[in-house]
Structure 1
Amino acid sequence: MSVINQMLKDLDQRQADQGGTSHFTVPVDSPSSNKKIIFISLIVIVLLNTGGIFIWQMYVENQALKVSKALKINHSEKPVLKNSKLDNSAHVVKNESTNQANNSNITTGLLKTQQNKADIAQIIPPINKLTQDNISKIEVPLATMSTATSSSNNLQAPVTLTSLPVTKSTLKISRKELSPDALAKQKLIRAEQALANKDIAKAESLFEDVLLVIPEHKSARKQLAALWFGRQAYSDALNLLSQGINLSPNDSEFRLMKARIYLKKNRIRQAFTTLNNIPNVNDVINVEYQSLRATMAQQLNEFSFSAEAYQILVSIEPSSSRWWLGLGVALDSNSEFEQASFAYKTALNKNGLSGSAENFARQRITELGE
């Protein structure tokens, strides 16, 4: 038991020694020292703010004093450049020979102005000649410059560059109105090109456009009528030619084309009437016109008209035996036997008759009593 008690005492003593070594004191600042530091910091901040405000007020008053002095000097001397060109600014610099400092400042300002002008020309690309001229003619107004002597605190004349609005170049496309003749000519050329390319539908459409612009255009009407006749649009072609005849009653080609369409439809009477009703029909010096008129008149037993047509033909081609023979037949049918016999004889004296035609002429001469 004594041994156990001794062990317990040793254990208690160790615990007491460990507990004594684990406790230590931490020094703590007193509250009075913290208050002193905060108070001193506040005082320093207040002093700095007060000093900054004082310095700012002094700076503002100094700037206001300088501005007021500059205004008084400008008001008394008024060296305003009314003309904003660079030539006048150079003239002002020359007059201020008494102030060397201002001379250098103004010269520097002018150089900057020219540099700015060059920068403007580079920034704005030359759109067209008008815009380039506007850029080259930009006038740079200079601010009011003081001409005071060196006693005026060497005030530097400010040079300001005011940007002028540069008008943008615009491309205006205007449609030129063509005259009716010019428009018709343009469409006629396109129609002929379409015919060359065998585009019949396009050519017809363009010819119609020409007639809408100029109804009196004969060439367009004839070509359109020929195209319609070619695709057997006879009614349309007849109406088109009838309109042309109404506009130009003396045009023999309109009547000749219309008569041929009537013949195609076996309407001989309408064909003959179309040809025979032209004003001054005997003045139409056209072999094709008069030969077709003579033939149809002979078929319709209109012998006097046939004789008239052949008379015109022999006057046009007096050496043609065919026309003399036709004249003889027309006169013979119209009971003008003496003149018919003379026409038969003249036909036999010309070359070009077939054997049967010669036999017919000789037979008729014999029968007429010669």
Structure 2
Amino acid sequence: MSVINTMLKELDKRQQSYSLENMQVEPVQSQVSIYAKTPWVLLAIVSFLLLFCVGYLWDNVSHTGGTQQAKFKQVLTSSGLTESVAEESYHLVDTRAQVVDASVIPRSSNVQLAMKMAPIENQPIKPFPARVAVKDAVVSLPIVHQAVDKANMANNPQSMAVTEVRLSAKQLAEKKYQLGTQAEDKGEQKEAIEHYHQALTLIPAFHEARQRLAALFYGQGHLMQSSDILQQGIRLFPQELDYRMLLARVQQSAGEYAQALVTLEGIPDGVRLSKQKWILESSIGQKVKNYTLAEVSYRQLLQIEATQSRWWMGLAYALDAQKKYDTAVVAYEQALFYRAVPEQGLSRQAVDYIEARLVQLGESL
């Protein structure tokens, strides 16, 4: 009823030619003047005129509404929609909208609407409701999202689709590691430490990141933090012997010689790190005056580098400290013999010591 009332009000404004005030009723008025003395006859005539006017207005309202509905249907169906869709769309007109003659709608808008809607007929894709304005009326029409997107892409070749790229945990950890090395090269150690921490959080088995993180703490003098990082690596990955070697070096720097030797015991002989293990054991053995350990370590080193004069001097010193003077003299002499070998020689101070010690041992012998 509210739609009908709105239509009536609109017609009353636009179709003033159908109002009682503009109707020619002069003959009726003359007749009324003739029978003015007869009130009942006058009343009957007036009632008849009122009924005639109401019926006439109602007939025009019905005829105009039907005509407008037919025209509205014609606009929608001409734009590529079926008759049933246009009928349904007409009933979806907002109650606040005004009924407008379809002739006032620009033809260009019909053509554009038809161009957009034409591909929908051959695409069995589930539509979603969109809203299309027809002057003052707003009608819900089914628009296919995929078809509209394709049309927009065709009309705008520069439009680009944004695709989300997801990195795996390994890829993200490698990215963090790369950022850490870059920050480290720039001297930004705090940022580098943060990146290495993030890489290890993503991939605990990222051994390069753990080693670099421990080295950064070591370089800053934070030996405890460096030791904790390496010990965590040993617990998680006991087969990774590099953690033991690095931890032993940190413990040696911290003066924890006994702990360093225990750590080195976890590295078996005959592996890639054997040489480094024996060098570190021989150095610690001399510091803690464990000359037996130092002797064993130097003999192991001479098994793989027999012409290294430094190992001969170290063995001679370990034997000399154990009062094994005969074998110590032989070791000192071997050290002097191989001192001329390139990159395996002795310093001038070391040579002076050996020569002076041989003199002392010769005199004592």
TM superposition score category, shorter chain reference: 0.5 to 0.7
Q: 1:255-266 maps to which residues of 2 (within 5 A)?
A: 255-266=244-255
Could you tell me which amino acid in structure 2 is paired with residue 312 of structure 1?
Answer: Q
**Worse-matched range after superposition: 44-53 or 241-250:** 44-53
Which of 184, 199, 203 matches 2:173? 184
Cα offset for 1:174? 8.5
Runs of 4+ displaced beyond 6 Å:
40-60, 114-117, 169-175
* Map of 2:120 onto structure 1: 138
User: In the alignment, what sits opposite 1:203?
Assistant: 192
Paired AA for residue 333 in structure 2? K
| Residue 274 of structure 1, aligned match among 263, 280, 291 | 263
> What is the SS of the residue equivalent to 1:184?
helix
**Superposed CA offset, 1:233-278 (max 9, x none):** 2222222111122234454543343333333333332233323x12
Map residues 143-154 of structure 1 onto 2, 5 A cutoff: none
Secondary structure of residue in 2 paired with 1:139: helix
Larger Rg: 1
Cα-to-partner distance string for 1:133-187 (whole Å, 9 max, x where unaligned): xx452339xxxxxxxxxxxxxxxxxxxxx98511446999886654331221121
CA RMSD of aligned residues (A): 4.9
Structure 1 residues 45-54 or 296-305, which shifts more?
45-54
Counterpart of 1:120, as a letter, is: L
Q: Tell me the alpha carbon deviations over residues 252-308 of structure 1, each in whole angstroms, 9 at most, x when there is no partner.
A: 543343333333333332233323x12314545465543222111123233332223
Whether 1:166 aligns to 2:148 is: no
Q: Of residues 204, 207, 221 in structure 2, which corresponds to 1:232?
A: 221
Q: Which moved more, 1:247-256 or 1:181-190?
A: 247-256
Change (3 A) 1:344 1:196: closer
Q: Secondary structure at the match of 2:187?
A: coil
Identity over aligned pairs, percent: 26
The answer to whether the aligner puts 1:36 opposite 2:33 as a matched pair is yes
Map 1:1-370 → 2, pairs under 5 A: 36=33, 39=36, 118-120=111-113, 135-139=117-121, 165-168=142-145, 178-275=167-264, 277-281=265-269, 283-285=271-273, 287-334=275-322, 339-350=327-338, 351=340, 352-353=345-346, 354=348, 355-360=351-356, 362-363=358-359, 366=362
* Contact residue 120 and residue 144 of structure 2 kept, 8 A: no
Unaligned runs of 5+ in 2: 1-29, 64-79, 81-106, 123-138, 150-159
> What code does the residue aligned with 1:36 have?
S
Please tell me the residue identity of whatever aligns with 1:303: Y
Distance in 2 between residues matched to 1:270 and 1:50, nearest whole Å: 117
Q: Is the 8 A contact 1:307 1:331 kept in 2?
A: yes
SS in 1 for 2:289: coil
Measure, in 2, the Cα distance between the counterparts of 1:136 and 1:366.
112
**Contact 1:294–1:306 at 8 Å: present in 2 too?**
yes
Kept in 2: contact 1:344–1:365 (CA 8 A): no
Q: Show structure 1 runs of 5+ residues with no match.
A: 1-32, 63-85, 87-113, 123-131, 141-161
Alpha-carbon distance in 2 for matches of 1:335, 1:195: 50
Say which structure, 1 or 2, has more relative contact order (CA 8 Å, 6+ apart).
1
Give the Cα–Cα distance (whole angstroms) in 2 for the partners of residues 54 and 221 of structure 1. Answer: 96
TM-score where L is the length of structure 2: 0.54
Distance 1:52 1:301, change over 3 A: closer
